[in-house]
């Protein structure tokens, strides 16, 4: 049974930093590209960024480029999302997902999803 478990979400002030983790089990972690998505209240879930299977390539949404960094540790079956210079508009539930090879940006390209972790940025 595949499980993706996000952690690290909390309340943070605007301009601050926060790191999220996503621990995977039940799959060959290094065979999957990993992505982060988010869903704000009343909005559709949107792509945040993705990292290739090896970790050598990343791709980000314009809204977070330069502020967010995705990394992974295949030995620990974990992917990370480091968020800096946080803004109130970054408030959302953040989800990690495991998908096809490459750098998938579309939700349908991901096979497995975590339950999400809440990030709230206060102004």
pLDDT at 97: 98
What whole-number distance in Å separates Cα of residue 79 and Cα of residue 20?
8
pLDDT at 16: 98
Measured from the Cβ of residue 107, the count of other Cβ atoms closer than 10 Å reads 16
Q: What is the per-residue pLDDT across 32-46, written as a single tens digit (0 to 9) for each?
A: 999 999 999 999 999
pLDDT at 35: 98
Q: What are phi and psi of 108, to 5 degrees?
A: -65, -15
Residue from 111, 28, 37 nearest 77 by CA: 28
pLDDT at 100: 80
pLDDT at 54: 95
Q: What is the per-residue pLDDT across 47-104, written as a single tens digit (0 to 9) for each?
A: 999 999 999 999 999 999 999 999 999 999 999 999 999 999 999 999 999 998 889 9
Mean pLDDT of 25-34: 97
Cβ-Cβ contacts under 8 Å for 62 (sequence gap 6 or more): none
pLDDT at 38: 98
């Amino acid at each position: 049974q595949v499980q993706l478990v996000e952690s690290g979400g909390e309340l943070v002030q605007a301009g601050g930093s926060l790191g999220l983790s996503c621990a995977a089990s039940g799959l060959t972690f290094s065979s999957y590209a990993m992505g982060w998505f988010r869903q704000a209240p009343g909005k559709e879930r949107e792509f945040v960024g993705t990292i290739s299977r090896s970790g050598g390539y990343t791709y980000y949404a314009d809204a977070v480029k330069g502020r967010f960094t995705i990394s992974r540790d295949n030995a620990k079956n974990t992917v990370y999302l480091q968020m800096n210079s946080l803004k109130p508009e970054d408030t959302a539930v953040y989800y990690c997902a495991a998908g096809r090879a490459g750098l998938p940006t579309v939700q349908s390209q991901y096979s497995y999803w975590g339950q999400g972790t809440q990030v709230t940025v206060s102004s």
